[in-house]
Amino acid sequence: MSSKCTKCNQRSVIFQKYSGMRLCRKHFIEDVERKIKLTIRKEANIAKNDTIAVALSGGKDSSVLLYVLHKTLKERPDIRIVAITVDEGIEGYRSHTVQSAAILAQNMGIEHIVVSFEQEFGKSLDELISGERVQGACTYCGVLRKSLLNRIARNIGATKLATGHNLDDEAQTIFLNHIRGDVERLVRLAPTRELDGLILRSKPLRKIPEKEVALYAFLNDLPVDYSECPYAGEAMRGEVRDVLNDLEVNHPGTKYSILSGFDKMVQILAKEYTQTNMSGCQICGEPCNSNTCQACKILGRNIIEY
């Protein structure tokens, strides 16, 4: 079988089984950027004078996100991009990715804010989960990180919060919520309207497979940390990832099909499971749909202590 690019006569760097195309470096980069730009146009709704906060971990996904957003929008002087890095406090892991994030932001001249769990919540993630706990490390991390990113983005006047979720992430999350029968959480994956206090999120990489994100980062020589979080093995997501990867090998395009089906049905589901208005958490004041936000619940806060 030929190893030449489908679009030219150059040597290919990837074979996309789901599309049947072999692509050289140039055409692969163009293909990735075309998909990202299309997602931005259709779903991000970037407007004049927007401030876009980018959740930058220093890993491949968020680094590619920041790089492509900067490349796409750098000629727009009215658009402000700010990178926000959350240091959860994971020994032997997070310090390396924070350094990679700082190098990337500096190389592109992008404003970079670093915040930590220890500064904001009084304990690192390692400390939070060191004792008796009823939730996995990923639950603690996900809830607190999401809350912190939203608060920092709001404080800097951001109008959008971009995250580096790729196709694999999206397909896994959709599949997980189907398994759990959590339709309400499914609907919240694609918010249908802005909610008070919550910065509208966008996922420009949601149609790019994880392996292609990694290859794009490599081909563009981005300063990326490719190590895996030591807590990743605790989550059920790892089992779902393995199942979907096996399906993708045997049935190329499975992950795209899961995402496409979700996008078609989510608006219908949203009519039945309407998003409730936000109220302020009675402890910290952050927006939530009950008296107490998930971050305060997971931290064991109460009104007197706070």
CA 196 to CA 139: how far, in whole Å?
24
Please count the helices (runs of H) and the strands (runs of E) in the chain: 12, 9
263 is in an annotated binding site: no
CA 154 to CA 60: how far, in whole Å?
25
**Can you read off the two tokens belonging to residue 252?**
């190329």
- Write out the H or E segment, with its range, that includes residue 22: strand 21-23
24 is in an annotated binding site: yes
86 is in an annotated binding site: yes
141 is in an annotated binding site: no
* Beta bridge pairs of residue 55: 84
* Beta bridge pairs of residue 86: 115
61 is in an annotated binding site: yes
CA 282 to CA 293: how far, in whole Å?
8
138 is in an annotated binding site: no
293 is in an annotated binding site: yes
Which of 172, 152, 295 is CA-nearest to residue 238?
Answer: 172
288 is in an annotated binding site: no
CA 171 to CA 185: how far, in whole Å?
14
Amino acid at 136: G
55 is in an annotated binding site: yes
CA 78 to CA 90: how far, in whole Å?
37
Annotated binding site for ATP: 55-57, 61, 86, 164, 169
Annotated binding site: 5, 8, 24, 27, 55-57, 61, 86, 164, 169, 281, 284, 293, 296
Annotated binding site for Zn(2+): 5, 8, 24, 27, 281, 284, 293, 296
